[in-house]
Amino acid sequence: MGKKLSQDQIEHYKEKGYVSPVDAFTREQAAGYLKELESFEASQGRQLTKGFNFKPHLLFPWVDSIARSPAVLDAVEDILGPDILLFHLSVWPKNAHDSAFINWHQDATYFGLAPSTQLTVWVALSDAPVEAGCMEVVPGSQKLGQLHHGQNHTDNILLSKGQTVDVPFDKSHTEFMPVSAGQMSLHDTFLVHASGPNTTDHRRVGLGFSFIPASSRCTSKTRLTASLVRGKDHGNFDLETPPVVANGEAERALHAEAVRRFRASNDEQAAAY
């Protein structure tokens, strides 16, 4: 029995590469977080979508608070251990009746982590049923290790480089991971997964937190930043400072530098892939 997950859930994660759904926040809390996000979008006149969706935890205290919440980190510790870094974070919105989708891929691609022990926690700020384009996974595919990916640069693919598994793999049996507002799912960095378009009348919004053990390092020439969210730092990343003022001047400067480094590393890894 873990701090958050049951022994059955931990074993399910080890065998199939994911566990879902897991309760994290109330629907009311999730609605409050979504209101914060959409209020910022309205003030900027643009949505936090592809090209504008990286590392919001460096801009907004409310996002940082989710990343540090025991409701999230207790589950992460059950999988990764006590020393935890937030390596990356992306906002994943799909508007009502939006054709945007995410092709079959693995999160590990272009991350350049050694070892590749990374856990994605997807926190739903609104309901994400199958019809809204929740994640679809190939159970057990994490055991295949890193698969080769190609790139498909089209506007309706939400991944920044359109990375897509381009080698044969067995997807004859898949499972969906629907989650309600306030729930979360956890999946392994090598788990092959995708998500379809949103065919519902409501906007589907989630936050994808990429957690790693603090002992992990990045193999790129660019030294990356990360946030120590629990336990002890191991010195492999420049530590990020939690935001104090929402979208403040210092916060914007730190965010811009962190995103610049992440994109540079991502480009480096893709070029060498």
Number of domains in the chain: 1
Whether the Cβ atoms of residue 79 and residue 187 lie closer than 8 Å to each other: no
Q: Can you give the CATH number for the domain in which 137 is found?
A: 2.60.120.620
Distance in angstroms (rounded) separating the CA atoms of residues 71 and 123: 11
User: Is 116 inside a domain boundary?
Assistant: yes
User: Is 1 inside a domain boundary?
Assistant: no
Distance in angstroms (rounded) separating the CA atoms of residues 84 and 81: 7
User: Is 180 inside a domain boundary?
Assistant: yes
Which residues are paired to 135 by β-bridges? 177, 195
User: Is 210 inside a domain boundary?
Assistant: yes
**How distant, in Å, are the alpha carbons of 98, 145, 147, 217 from that of 117?**
33, 11, 15, 10
Task: Please provide residue 131's backbone torsions phi and psi, each rounded to the nearest 5 degrees.
Answer: -65, -20
**Structure confidence at residue 81 (pLDDT):** 97
Buried b (16+ CB within 10 A) or exposed e, 166-187: eeeeeeeeeeebbbebbbbbbb
For the chain, percent of residues with pLDDT exceeding 70: 100
**Structure confidence at residue 156 (pLDDT):** 80
**HSE-CB for 225 with a 13 A CA cutoff:** 21
Q: Which of 216, 211, 229, 183 is nearest to 19 (CA)?
A: 183
Stretches where the chain sits below pLDDT 70 are none
Please write down the HEC assignment for all residues of 86-128. Answer: EEEEEEEEECCCECCEEEEECCCCCCCEECCCCEEEEEECCCE
* Residue position matching structure tokens 């870094």: 85
**Structure confidence at residue 56 (pLDDT):** 97
**Structure confidence at residue 50 (pLDDT):** 79
Which residues are paired to 102 by β-bridges? 195
User: Is 246 inside a domain boundary?
Assistant: yes
Q: Which of 16, 23, 22, 47 is nearest to 34 (CA)?
A: 47
User: Is 43 inside a domain boundary?
Assistant: yes
**pLDDT (tens digit per residue) in 28-73:** 999 999 999 999 999 999 999 877 899 999 999 999 999 999 999 9
**Structure confidence at residue 196 (pLDDT):** 96
User: Is 2 inside a domain boundary?
Assistant: no
Task: Provide the residue range defining the domain that includes 113.
Answer: 7-272
CB atoms within 10 A of CB 92: 24
**Structure confidence at residue 129 (pLDDT):** 97
Q: Which two tokens stand for residue 133?
A: 């384009």
**Structure confidence at residue 155 (pLDDT):** 75
**pLDDT (tens digit per residue) in 127-138:** 999 999 999 999
**Structure confidence at residue 157 (pLDDT):** 84
